């Protein structure tokens, strides 16, 4: 459903953040997202729009290109 979910999870975990913390950062950036929705994105069960990828990258403080890189094992 999306290709960015696993990388979003890895970037979030690398920062030591919970799903609640990332969702809160996204809310500050004007995207009303719940922890449950973020969990679905990370599990690739929900589609992600281009706008949402931009917000996720900003919330994670990474370049958009990093969101599209494959997660490291």
Domain ranges in the chain are: 5-67
Question: 5-67 adopts what CATH topology?
Answer: 434 Repressor (Amino-terminal Domain) (1.10.260)
Q: Are 5 and 70 in contact (CB under 8 A)?
A: no
pLDDT tens, 53-70? 999 999 999 999 999 987
Q: Are 5 and 67 in contact (CB under 8 A)?
A: no
pLDDT band at residue 1, thresholds of 50, 70 and 90?
confident
Quick one: pLDDT at residue 71?
64
pLDDT tens, 14-51? 999 999 999 999 999 999 999 999 999 999 999 999 99
Q: Look at the pTM and tell me if it is higher than 0.85.
A: yes
Quick one: pLDDT at residue 73?
60
């Amino acid at each position: 459903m999306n290709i960015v979910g696993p990388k979003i999870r890895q970037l979030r975990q690398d920062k030591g953040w919970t799903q609640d913390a990332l969702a809160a950062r996204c809310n500050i950036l004007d995207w009303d997202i719940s922890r449950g929705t973020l969990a679905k994105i990370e599990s690739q069960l929900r589609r992600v729009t281009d706008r949402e990828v931009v917000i996720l990258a900003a919330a994670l403080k990474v370049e958009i290109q990093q969101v599209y890189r494959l997660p490291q094992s």
